[in-house]
Amino acid sequence: MLALLTDEQRMLRDVVRGAAAEMGLSSADLAGADRGRGWAELSAIGVPGLRLRGATGAPAASGVEVMIAAEELGSRLVPLPYLGAAILPVELLALAGAPARVVGPLADGSTRASVLLSADLGTFAARPDEGGFGWDCADAGFALGLVPAAAGWTLARYGVTEVEPLEAADLTRTVAGIAVGERLEEYPLDQDGVDRWLALALTAASADIVGAMRGALAGAVDYSKDRVQFGVPVGSFQAVQHMCAEALVRVEGAASTVKYAAWGVDELAVPEALLAARTGKAYASAAARDVLETVMQVYGGIGQTWEHLAHVYLRRAMLSAQVLGDERHQLAEISHARLGGR
Amino acid sequence: MDYRDTAQEAAFRAELRAWFGQNIPPGWRDVIEDPAGRTEFRKQWHRTLHKAGYVAMSWPVEYGGRGLSPIFDAILGEETARADAPPLPGNVNFLGRAMWTHGTEEQKKRFLPMLLTGDAVWCQGFSEPEAGSDIAGLRTRAVLEGDEWVVNGQKMWTSGAHAADWCLLLVRTDPDKPKHKGISCLLTPMNVPGIEARPIYLANGEPETSEVFFDNVRIPRENMLGHRGGGWSIAMTTLAYERGPGDTGFVPKYQATLRRLEELAAERGRLADPAVRPALATAYIKGEALRLTVLEQLSLRVSGQLAGEEGSIAKLLWADAEQSIQHLAIELLGPDVWLGRAPQRLSAYLSSRPVSVYGGSSQIQKNILAQRVLRMPRA
């Protein structure tokens, strides 16, 4: 048993961290921001293609690398659709054995796609032939839907005919209603494949939340060291220190469950991998609101303003918490996994 | 990164399961219920474990250990809980480290073997009535007279003192020095004149710990561990090791408690209550967060990076998990807990309260995290 990142994983973390520092947000005013900035660099690092299958059928990188990238980019609020429009559709297509001509352009960043979800983003769209909703789906060139089949599922690929963005809370990601045309292709996918995808997708969303909590808390702690009131830094007050310490405990508790889930994506049997992913998602989603509210509180008045990033972190993490089921949903699934129908 | 057992770890686990299957004394719980039989039983179990090679797995071979990684201690703790075996000797690793790190050759030769075999039972004399969270404010005095230290004062929360043969005792030898620098550590025999241990009864009515009085107790000069004035760093550096939830076997006990509560909720028809299922699932994810945090810290220890201040994260997760699950337990049982119909549940609930006090209160842990991990300024 050893729960430490490898040297290669630490190197990836440092590379993505460096990139994230450059392409992350510095203000909540996104109107003038170049949303496309950094996509080429992210693609060059290989982030969209992390789950591309090689000649042996093994993914280029494990769930742990996906977690690392999602945490680092999340911690800087990078407003690029590497999860919803790249890593997650690549994984779904790869699990269904889609050909390189479809997966390749997604993995190298030249095309984007979206998985069709329900209106609350909590599960797959029930009737994807009629469209659905996309999370983190900016510039999706095609869409993927799951249709029940005689044995398992059919993964259908559709052209996108219309995109109607929602005014969703997260200012850094696109959430949209997606209308689709005819099915372009179909690939069979069994329940294990769907569950494997869920394990990765839940873990990626959870890692995004962990990253957002880490980035936001680090900023608030730094601020508390500089902000002087009553002649001393506010971070010297025990009330402030204990809030930050409690937040740290929640963040690290979340990070440890998500790390295990990330490892489990490729290493655990399907039911255990999914249970681990739901555990991480439940824990991180529950922590998100508390931790990010603490962050806003530590910043005081300035942390309540539109210009400040504190609410951008909160918005992003809370929306990620909804993706494929929030805390309540995951707890119900965990309960079912442990107690069955009793 | 691999959360699975290595081949060697898996083999060790299998060996332990087989051994526990053959060697757990039947009815051991009844034996340790009785304070009279408890001490002798624990010594006997320590000897049995030692003969089988299950004490001091992570000690260096030169001191009689097996030179294995601390992961093996964790596996031993897990399998002990899984097999419902008697508790492991609690402070052997911590004391051993203190002695081989700071002891003289003579002290190592004298004390390490009897610590290993269980022939000597140890307690730790750290806290005092006026030195709880502020433990460096301890006042128990030791004054050098000839070749002896003469000790006067009082210790609190000295668990197991009445049954102990020896005490790792922190005393103030240099009252004129700054408080952290005037403390020394004495290896104190408990059978000398002037030492009196009295039980402290906790809220559940059990004599779970002790207070110890020292009245002109004379300790040979050569019984000082480390140098004069070095007591604080001995206590802190060795405490940082082997005192977390991973070392106390807390996680597997917690998992067993959760399983029992799930059964209890099912038996009592409480799973239909819409609040109960999410509460049980929440207890599960809290246990997982603790288990996995502990495993990460253990991994850091294995790789030679001591998890120091970060240990406070695990302590806080531990206290929260234990206190939350005991809340859930008393909610599931309802009035029975308070009407004398579930005395063990009441006792378990009350026993969960000091978890956020002993080993450093939750408030102290938060101070440590804020000041030493987050580097927030001191007031």
A235–B377 CB contact, under 8 Å: yes
Chain A positions in Cβ-Cβ contact with residue B373 (cut-off 8 Å): 248
Q: Compute chain B's Rg from CA coordinates.
A: 22
Query: Could you give the CA distance from residue B136 to residue B139 in angstroms, rounded to a whole number?
Result: 9
Query: Could you give the CA distance from residue A111 to residue A91 in angstroms, rounded to a whole number?
Result: 15
> Which of B288, B289, B299 is nearest residue A4 as measured by Cβ atoms?
B299
Question: For position A60, what pLDDT does the model report?
Answer: 96
> Which of A221, A279, A342 is nearest residue B271 as measured by Cβ atoms?
A342
At residue B295's C-alpha, the angle toward residues B289 and B297, to 5°, is 105
Query: Could you give the CA distance from residue A119 to residue A132 in angstroms, rounded to a whole number?
Result: 7
Characterize A15-25 residue by residue with b for buried, 16 or more Cβ atoms within 10 angstroms of its Cβ, and e for exposed: bbbebbeebbb
Higher pLDDT: A93 or A55? It is A93
**By mean pLDDT, which of A94-103, A287-296, B230-239 is the weakest?**
B230-239
Question: For position B15, what pLDDT does the model report?
Answer: 97
Query: Could you give the CA distance from residue B313 to residue B360 in angstroms, rounded to a whole number?
Result: 12
B47-76 average pLDDT score: 92
Half-sphere exposure of A29 (CA within 13 A, CB side): 2
A320-334 average pLDDT score: 98
User: Which residues touch A44 (CB under 8 Å, ≥6 apart)?
Assistant: none
B369–A342 CB contact, under 8 Å: no
SS3 A76: coil
For residue B307, pLDDT over 60 is answered with no
Residue type at A146? L
Supply the mean pLDDT for chain A.
Answer: 96
pLDDT tens-digit readout, B155-206: 999 988 988 999 999 999 999 999 999 999 999 999 999 999 999 999 999 8
Q: Which residue has the tokens 């990033």?
A: A309
Question: For position B82, what pLDDT does the model report?
Answer: 86
Counting every residue written for chain A, the total comes to 342
Which of B68, B86, B66 minimizes the C-alpha distance to B77?
B86
Confidence band for B207, pLDDT divided at 50, 70 and 90: confident
Q: How remote is the C-alpha of B80 from its chain's centroid?
A: 15
Query: Could you give the CA distance from residue B268 to residue B274 in angstroms, rounded to a whole number?
Result: 14
pLDDT above 90 coverage of chain A, percent? 93
pLDDT tens-digit readout, A207-240: 999 999 999 999 999 999 999 999 999 999 999 9
Interface test with B, best of A7, A335, A336 (most B CBs within 10 A): A335
Question: For position B304, what pLDDT does the model report?
Answer: 79
DSSP state of B373: I
Report the chain B residue with the minimal C-alpha distance to residue A8: B1
Give bridge partners of residue A185 from the DSSP assignment: A157
Q: Compute chain A's Rg from CA coordinates.
A: 20
For residue A204, the distance in angstroms to the closest alpha carbon of chain B comes to 18
A3–B367 CB contact, under 8 Å: no
H helix or E strand, kind and range, residue A168: none
Query: Could you give the CA distance from residue B330 to residue B27 in angstroms, rounded to a whole number?
Result: 27
SS3 B192: coil
For residue A262, pLDDT over 90 is answered with yes
Task: Assign a CATH topology to domain A193-339.
Answer: Butyryl-CoA Dehydrogenase, subunit A; domain 3 (1.20.140)
Confidence band for B300, pLDDT divided at 50, 70 and 90: confident
Residue type at A302? I
Q: What is the DSSP string of B120-178?
A: S-EEEE--BTTBSS-GGG---EEEEETTEEEEEEEE---TTGGG-SEEEEEEES-TTS-
B28-47 average pLDDT score: 87
For residue A164, the distance in angstroms to the closest alpha carbon of chain B comes to 35
For residue B363, the distance in angstroms to the closest alpha carbon of chain A comes to 8
Query: Could you give the CA distance from residue A103 to residue A98 in angstroms, rounded to a whole number?
Result: 7
Enter the tokens of residue B168.
């790792």
Report the chain A residue with the minimal C-alpha distance to residue B5: A1
Enter the tokens of residue B369.
């995290």
Report the chain A residue with the minimal C-alpha distance to residue B377: A236
Residue type at A176? A
Query: Could you give the CA distance from residue B376 to residue A241 in angstroms, rounded to a whole number?
Result: 7
User: Which residues touch B34 (CB under 8 Å, ≥6 apart)?
Assistant: none
Supply the mean pLDDT for chain B.
Answer: 92
Query: Could you give the CA distance from residue A245 to residue B374 in angstroms, rounded to a whole number?
Result: 8
**By mean pLDDT, which of A10-24, A135-149, B32-46, B261-275 is the weakest?**
B32-46
CB B101, CB B241: distance < 8 Å: no
Interface test with A, best of B262, B285, B301, B320 (most A CBs within 10 A): B285
DSSP state of A50: T
A245–B375 CB contact, under 8 Å: no
For residue B184, the distance in angstroms to the closest alpha carbon of chain A comes to 31
Question: For position B34, what pLDDT does the model report?
Answer: 79
Chain B positions in Cβ-Cβ contact with residue A328 (cut-off 8 Å): 278
> Which of B71, B289, B379 is nearest residue A256 as measured by Cβ atoms?
B289
Query: Could you give the CA distance from residue A289 to residue A318 in angstroms, rounded to a whole number?
Result: 7
User: Which residues touch A49 (CB under 8 Å, ≥6 apart)?
Assistant: A43, A60, A86, A90, A106, A107, A108, A109
Enter the tokens of residue A18.
């460096």
Question: For position B93, what pLDDT does the model report?
Answer: 87
A1–B280 CB contact, under 8 Å: no
Question: For position A32, what pLDDT does the model report?
Answer: 60
A181-209 average pLDDT score: 98
All domains of chain B in start order, with CATH: 7-89 (1.10.540.10), 122-227 (2.40.110.10), 244-373 (1.20.140.10)
Query: Could you give the CA distance from residue B297 to residue B300 in angstroms, rounded to a whole number?
Result: 5
Handedness of CA A211, A214, A216, A219 (dihedral sign): negative
**By mean pLDDT, which of B177-191, B230-244, B346-360 is the weakest?**
B230-244
**By mean pLDDT, which of A69-83, B96-110, B293-307, B315-329 is the weakest?**
B293-307
Ordered by start, the domain boundaries in chain A are 193-339
For residue B301, pLDDT over 90 is answered with no
B262 is catalytic: no
Residue type at A66? V
Strand-strand pairing, A142-148 and A153-165: antiparallel
Half-sphere exposure of A313 (CA within 13 A, CB side): 34
Q: Sort B340 into a burial class: Cβ within 10 Å, 0-12 / 13-18 / 19+.
A: exposed
Which of B323, B275, B328 minimizes the C-alpha distance to A331?
B275
Query: Could you give the CA distance from residue A280 to residue A325 in angstroms, rounded to a whole number?
Result: 12
Characterize B169-196 residue by residue with b for buried, 16 or more Cβ atoms within 10 angstroms of its Cβ, and e for exposed: bbbbbeeeeebebbbbbbbbbbeeeebe
Question: For position B311, what pLDDT does the model report?
Answer: 87
Question: For position A27, what pLDDT does the model report?
Answer: 75
Question: For position A110, what pLDDT does the model report?
Answer: 96
For residue B9, pLDDT over 60 is answered with yes
**By mean pLDDT, which of A264-273, B22-31, B323-332 is the weakest?**
B22-31
Q: How many CB atoms lie within 10 A of CB A121?
A: 22
**By mean pLDDT, which of B83-92, B101-110, B322-331 is the weakest?**
B83-92
Query: Could you give the CA distance from residue B297 to residue A125 in angstroms, rounded to a whole number?
Result: 41
> Which of B296, B317, B370 is nearest residue A245 as measured by Cβ atoms?
B370
Residue type at B24? I
Strand-strand pairing, A132-135 and A175-189: antiparallel
B369–A3 CB contact, under 8 Å: no
pLDDT tens-digit readout, A157-173: 999 999 999 999 999 99
Query: Could you give the CA distance from residue A116 to residue A118 in angstroms, rounded to a whole number?
Result: 7
Question: For position A301, what pLDDT does the model report?
Answer: 97
